[in-house]
Amino acid sequence: MKKIELSIFCFFVILALGLICAKIGVDTLFTASGAEYSQIQSVTQKLQTENIILKEKILTKSSYYYIASEAATMGFVPVDAKTSIVLANPVEPFAYNQ
């Protein structure tokens, strides 16, 4: 009877030591992953900042004032409001008589 109790006790001691070693291994693995996580976090932050800057550049370049100034630089002139196109024979709508 004592031998069975001793073997069960040894089993639990070995099991406890094994679980402690496994926990230490897993903690070490996650600690190494923590450094990678912080590195990925900083890269993500840099990319988000770069995206904001690029979005602002796109909005600036697509604004009317920027396009008008670039057109003036290239030699285009603004059209007078009084200038209009008049057709000699006005075109009737296709669905007018239907």
* 61 has pLDDT over 70: yes
Q: What pLDDT is recorded for position 90?
A: 67
Alpha-carbon torsion 18, 22, 25, 31, what sign? negative
Q: Which residue has the higher pLDDT, 79 or 43?
A: 43
Cα distance between residue 85 and residue 6, in whole Å:
106
Cα distance between residue 8 and residue 14, in whole Å:
10
Indicate the domain borders of the chain.
2-73
Cα distance between residue 92 and residue 45, in whole Å:
59
Q: What is the mean pLDDT of residues 68-96?
A: 71
Confirm whether pTM is higher than 0.85.
no
